[in-house]
Structures are given as structure tokens and as C-alpha cells.
């Protein structure tokens, strides 16, 4: 959720927490290795979307190592697609196109909605190669797929933004303006505060904030009550010490008075002292 709504710091924190928990559970034989692979893959996507490709490569390596433990023979085309894109970032375009095309063929049969992402990645790769016409066709295909399957809304925004930049380079300002405007409208519709898609997230945040405020108020009240209690205890201790001190003073005074009286009597009657 946080990754989708571009709250990157929170997203990465929860991805890593999830990964840590799943690794611990797997060691205890309480979960499957495929869940760890899923977390690694989510982090690859996170870093790739944020253009941190070096970190994406590291986690993709972890994905492949985990995949080998699961199934050494079967290709994972989710990983192949990400690998293809990263190959293109290293200017290995032939390998990139080969992997992404194979992934596209796979998802044409097994999950067409994922073509929204595959076609966007192909559009990016052809843009890197300088083939703007093919790049344009894949970005438009990604948009068509998103209209049909109504998923991966963030890629719809990204495709409009990519087409905007592409058309500006090609001096097609009318088309560029259209896609720039569509990206802004869609961005507000999908990610804006008034969006029905994000309303539940803000409600969760508001409930969390309200709960935290209540907790802080309770802690504050407890501290005040403790301070008041400490003040009462200190006051009672002060009174007790005052009473004890007063008693000791009175007792000392009476003792001294009694000894003095006794001393005077002994002076008047020495025989009394002898009898004593």
C-alpha cells in the first residue's frame, strides 16, 4: 500500500519487516519458501520503480537463489521480465528484448493483466534503444491493457508520463499535452486525497492518529496522577517527619526538665542521692 502511494520510506520498512518475519517462520518450518520469494520480488519492484537499479539487482539475485531452491527447472517469468529490464539498463538490449518478449508470450497465456507491466517495460527498453516508434506502441499497448483489466493503476500513470516525454522529444506537443494532462488527472484520481481508492488508507491513518492521540493523552493523565500521588506522599511524609521531630523536641525538653528537677532535689537532700 505504501509503495503504491509513493510513501517509500514506510514501504521499505514494512517490506523488510515482512521479509524478516517470513525468514524466521521458514526456519521454524511454519511457512513456505515461496512467501519469501514474494517479498524479495516486491522489493525488486520497489527499487526498480524508484530507479535504484543496483539494489534491484541485489534483490533479484536473491529471488533467483530462492527460485532455484523451489524449482530448478521451471522459469519464473516474473523474474525474467525484471532481469530483462535490468539487462537493458546495462545496454544489453538483445538479451533484454529476448527475456521480455518471452515473458510477454508467457503472460499472453497465463495472466494477461500482467501485460500492463510487461508492455510498459518493453516501452522503456525501446526508448533506451532510441526506437521511439516501437516504444510508443508498447506504452500505448500498456494503456490499452490497463483499460481492459483495470489493474496496476500506477503503471497507467507512468505510461502517460512516458508518452508525454516521448512526444516532446518528437516535437508532437499536442499529443504530449494530452498525455501530460491525462497523467495529472489520473494521478489525482488514483493517488489524490479525495480519491475513493485512497480514502480507506487515509481513514486508517486517521484512526491510527486518533488512537495515538488517545494513548498520549492517557499517558499524560497517568503522569499527572503519578505526580499528584507523589506530591501527596511527599506531603504526608513531611507531616509525619514534622510530628516525629516535634515529639522528639517535646520528649527531649521533658527529659531535660525532669533531669534538671531531679538534680535540684539531690542538691537539697544529699541523702536522697545516696538512697538512689
Cα-trace Rg, the chain: 39
Question: pLDDT class for 245, splitting at 50, 70, 90?
Answer: confident
Neighbouring residues of 180: CB distance < 8 A, sequence distance ≥ 6: 160, 161, 164
- State pLDDT tens for residues 113-150: 999 999 999 999 999 999 999 999 999 999 999 999 98
The residue that leads in pLDDT, 132 or 216, is 132
Answer whether residue 269 shows pLDDT above 90. Answer: no
Q: With beta carbons less than 8 A apart as the criterion, state whether 27 and 3 touch.
A: no
Q: Shortest CA distance to 42 belongs to which of 68, 69, 13?
A: 13
* Backbone torsion region of residue 60, taken as left when φ is above 0, otherwise alpha when ψ lies between -120 and 50, otherwise beta: alpha
pTM: 0.69
Res 232: pLDDT: 78
Give the pLDDT mean for 196-203: 57
Percent of the chain past pLDDT 70, that is, above it, reads: 86
Q: Shortest CA distance to 60 belongs to which of 70, 46, 73, 74?
A: 46
Helix (H) or strand (E) holding 211: helix 196-268
Amino acid at each position: 500500500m505504501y509503495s503504491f502511494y509513493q510513501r517509500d520510506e514506510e514501504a521499505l520498512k514494512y517490506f523488510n519487516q515482512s521479509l524478516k518475519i517470513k525468514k524466521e517462520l521458514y526456519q521454524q518450518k511454519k511457512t513456505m519458501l515461496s512467501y519469501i520469494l514474494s517479498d524479495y520480488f516486491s522489493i525488486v519492484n520497489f527499487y526498480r520503480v524508484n530507479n535504484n537499479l543496483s539494489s534491484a539487482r541485489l534483490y533479484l539475485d536473491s529471488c533467483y537463489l530462492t527460485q532455484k531452491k523451489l524449482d530448478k527447472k521451471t522459469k519464473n517469468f516474473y523474474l525474467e521480465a525484471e532481469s530483462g529490464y535490468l539487462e537493458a539498463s546495462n545496454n544489453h538490449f538483445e538479451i533484454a528484448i529476448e527475456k521480455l518478449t518471452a515473458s510477454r508470450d508467457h503472460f499472453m497465456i497465463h495472466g494477461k493483466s500482467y501485460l500492463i507491466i510487461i508492455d510498459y517495460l518493453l516501452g522503456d527498453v525501446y526508448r533506451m534503444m532510441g526506437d521511439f516508434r516501437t516504444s510508443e506502441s508498447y506504452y500505448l499497448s500498456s494503456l490499452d491493457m490497463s483499460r481492459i483489466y483495470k489493474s496496476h493503476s500506477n503503471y497507467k500513470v507512468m505510461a502517460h508520463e512516458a508518452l508525454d516525454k516521448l512526444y516532446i522529444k518528437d516535437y508532437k506537443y499536442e499529443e504530449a499535452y494530452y498525455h501530460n494532462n491525462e497523467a495529472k488527472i489520473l494521478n489525482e484520481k488514483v493517488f489524490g486525497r479525495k480519491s475513493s481508492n485512497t480514502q480507506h488508507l487515509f481513514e486508517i491513518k486517521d484512526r491510527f492518529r486518533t488512537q495515538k492521540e488517545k494513548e498520549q493523552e492517557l499517558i499524560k493523565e497517568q503522569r499527572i496522577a503519578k505526580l499528584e500521588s507523589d506530591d501527596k506522599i511527599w506531603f504526608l511524609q513531611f507531616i509525619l517527619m514534622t510530628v516525629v521531630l516535634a515529639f522528639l523536641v517535646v520528649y527531649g525538653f521533658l527529659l531535660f526538665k525532669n533531669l534538671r528537677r531531679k538534680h535540684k532535689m539531690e542538691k537539697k537532700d544529699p541523702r536522697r542521692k545516696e538512697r538512689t
